[in-house]
Amino acid sequence: MPQILLSEGPDQGVRLLTLNRPEALNALNTALLEALSSELDTAEADPETRAVVITGSERAFAAGADINEMAARDLVGMLEDPRIKHWARIARFTKPLITAVNGFCLGGGCELAMHGDIMVAGTNARFGQPEINLGIMPGAGGTQRLVRAVGQSLAMQMVLTGEPISAQRALEAGLVSEICQPELTIERAVAIARTIASKGPIAVRLAREAVQRAEDMDLAAGLRFERHAFTILAATDDRREGLEAFRNKRKPRFSGR
Ligand code: HXC
C-alpha cells in the first residue's frame, strides 16, 4: 500500500510533509492524522528540523475529514474519536509550520491549513467550510481560527453557506500570506521555511509564541509577554552573535544557544 504521508528532509532545516491519499482527495482519516501527528513528534524532537511545511497535491490540499469514517461514528464514537488527540497534537507543535495549499482545501482540510503559522496558496486553491451541506458544522477550528483570520462577516458566510472562496479572495481577506502559480506553491513555502530556519531558533520560538498570543490576550498582557520574551533573548549567545555580526558587517552564525 502506498504511504499516505510522505516525509522529506530535513533539508536546510526544513522538513516537507506531503498528504498522499489521492484516491480520496487527501481526506483526513484517522490513519493520515495519526501519521501526521507522529511525523510532527519526530520533527519536534529533531534539532536539525527548524521548520515544517505541510502540503497536499495540486488537485487537493485536503477535501476535509474522511466522510465515510465519520459516517460510521455515532455520538459516543465522536466523543471517543482518536482524531481529536491528533488535532490537539498538531495545534501544540512548537516549531514554525507553513501550509502550502493547492486545489481543494475544504472542511477539515481548511482547518488543517489554518494550523499553519503562515499559509501560501496556489491560484487554483479553493477554501471552504462545507460541513453545513452535510448537516454538521466545523469541528477543528473552522468557527474560531477562520473568524480570527478573515473576520466575522466572511467567516459566517463561509460556514453558513458552505460556499468556497478563491485563492485571490483568501489573499484579500488575510487567510493566506501569498498566492503564486500552483506549480510554485511548495517551492515558495519551502523558501519561506528555509529563511526562517536560518534565523536563531530561540528568537524564532519566542517571536512565534508572542505573535500567537496576540489572539488570546488583551493588548496590555500581550505587550507584557512580548517585553518579557524580548528581555529573555538578552541571555542568548545568538543575540550576541546577531548584534556582533551586524557591527562587523558579516553574516551571523546562530548556534541555537
Ligand atoms: C471521503 C472523499 C472526500 C471526503 C472527496 N472524497 N472528499 N472521501 N471524505 N471528505 C472522495 C470522493 O468520494 C471520490 O471517491 C474521490 O474523493 C474524488 O472526489 P469526487 O467527488 O469524485 O471529485 P470532484 O467531483 O472533483 O469533487 C471534488 C469535491 C467533492 C468538490 C471536493 O469531492 C466534495 O464535495 N467532497 C466533500 C467535501 C466536504 O464536504 N468536506 C467536508 C467534510 S466534513 P470515489 O471513490 O467516489 O472516486 C469535515 C469536518 C471536519 O471536514 C471536522 C474536523 C473535526
**How do residues 122-142 score in pLDDT, each as one tens digit?**
999 999 999 999 999 999 999
For CA atoms 250, 251, 253, 254, the dihedral sign is positive
Residue type at 166 in one-letter notation? S
Which of 35, 103, 131, 197 is catalytic? The answer is 131
Distance 44 CA to ligand 1 centre (A): 31
Listed residues 198, 219, 235: the one ending a domain:
198
212: CATH: 1.10.12
Distance 183 CA to ligand 1 centre (A): 23
Length of the chain, in residues = 257
Same domain, 169 and 211: no
Distance 56 CA to ligand 1 centre (A): 14
The verdict on ipTM greater than 0.85 is yes
Residue 206's domain spans which residues? 201-248
Same domain, 159 and 130: yes
Which of 62, 103, 111, 210 is catalytic? The answer is 111
Same domain, 167 and 232: no
56: CATH: 3.90.226.10
Same domain, 64 and 131: yes
What is the mean pLDDT of each successive set of 10 residues along the chain, which is 257 residues long?
92 98 98 97 97 98 96 91 95 98 98 98 98 97 96 98 98 98 98 98 97 94 98 97 97 94
Note whether residue 148 is domain-resident: yes
Total tally of structural domains belonging to the chain: 2
C-alpha span between 194 and 190 (Å, rounded): 6
Residue bearing the CA closest to ligand 1, atom 43: 64
Known active-site residue 91: no
Main-chain dihedrals φ then ψ at residue 146, nearest 5 degrees:
-65, -45
Known active-site residue 108: yes
Same domain, 239 and 163: no
Q: In ligand 1, which atom is closest to the CA atom of 87?
A: 55
Residues 143, 167 contacting (CB under 8 angstroms): no
State if pTM tops 0.95.
yes
